[in-house]
Amino acid sequence: MIHVSSHSPPGQSPLRTVQVLGGGSAGSCAHVRSLTSGLVARGVRVTVCAPASADHTYDFSGVGADHVHVPRRNDPTSMAVLRAACADADLVHAHGLHSALRAALALSGRRVPLVVTLHSRPYAEGARAHLLRLLERRVARAASVVLGSSSDLVDRARSRGARDARLAAVALPAPRRSAESEDADRLRPKARAELGATDRPLLMAVGSLDRHRGYDTLLDATRAWRRLDPVPLLVIAGEGPLRAELQRRIVNEGLPVRLVGPRDDIGELLAAADLALLPGSWESRSVLAQEALHARVPLVAAAAGGIPELVGDAAELVPHGDSEALAEAVEALLADPARRELLRDKGTLQVATWPTEDETVAQVLSVYDELTKPLPLP
């Protein structure tokens, strides 16, 4: 719960902040909504610059922010809208690398503090990898403070020239559904029946169907599960550019996999699953990983990005890109109810170590205070 206390001293104008999102991942959007709610409750004026679709999904306006529609583009019109939205800001806070670059351009020539939160490790190959490094250096040097949601992101920001990089407290807002909610037992059979997993193990993966998510590795692993009896069903929720390619593989190779597209009942589906799978994620604080541990669903994840730091010993971690190790970890867990129960209990303990929404807002406000505090008179 966010505790309300006024951040603006009597007689002073409230702090004016602009939060810049480019559409972003579910994790960064949910974080900005949670952060906005806490800041507004403390008397801070918040404007969220994000595509209209993000406001529709996360309802920044509903928690007291002014929303300005800024498309995820760098064209002159979009940049002019962003520049105007930042015109009266005391501080601008950008979330993600591309949003940070746009915010830095919008603030060009102005002495307005820029805070950047990095939620995930950026990914590029070939010639684009060089451009990515240039972009990271530009953002790191433009930011007054860089907040990384995992230690590897803090180290990366420092290596790119950040003058002040810190580990961020990033809370997971209230889970979409807890496995311990009073009607979970009633919903679980219904969700499993809908997915076709009434009498077989149900495995869940969630996330955009992009190359770096590790879905090729995951489909490779499912070939090994076909020899099990009963054969587990893998359900992948999400949409993206790889959908047609993945569907062709599923059909051509006869894989026990269903692509169910984007869903608004991820919490219910996850709570119905026997295992959650995260084959490759560069999100430092994966929403799926957090929701799985909250819901007491055993997790098998690739040891990539900030995942090991996030889950500790509360998940089965396998080398990134190793389909054999992934397949073996899943098979071993399905055959070992005691190990699954141990991971559930370890998950509950791990969740208790994560920052709360209150702690997240308090840390961000302390950074804002540092950067906006008037200099003492000589």
pLDDT at 125: 77
Phi, psi for residue 324 in degrees, rounded to 5: -65, -45
DSSP 92: E
Domains of the chain, by residue range, sit at 16-171+355-372, 184-351
Average pLDDT along the chain? 89
Number of helices (H), then strands (E), belonging to the chain: the values are: 15, 13
Q: Which residues contact 5 (CB under 8 A, 6 or more apart)?
A: 42
pLDDT at 10: 47
Residues of the chain whose pLDDT is less than 70?
A: 1-12, 23-25, 173-186, 281-283, 375-378
pLDDT at 75: 84
- Record: fold of 184-351: Rossmann fold (3.40.50)
Tell me the C-alpha distance between 160 and 157, whole Å: 5
Q: Say yes or no: do domains 16-171+355-372 and 184-351 share a fold.
A: yes
Tell me the C-alpha distance between 290 and 303, whole Å: 15
Tell me if the pTM is above 0.85: no
Tell me the C-alpha distance between 133 and 273, whole Å: 39
Within 13 A of 360's CA, how many CA atoms are on the CB side?
24
CB 97 within 8 A of CB 160: no
In a 3-state reduction of DSSP, which class is residue 30?
helix
Question: Which residue has 């190793």 as its token pair?
Answer: 322
Q: Taken in order 179, 180, 181, 185, is the CA torsion positive or negative?
A: positive
pLDDT at 179: 43
Q: CATH number of the domain at 16-171+355-372, please?
A: 3.40.50.2000
Q: What element of type H or E holds 299?
A: strand 299-302
pLDDT at 375: 55
pLDDT at 180: 47
pLDDT at 12: 58
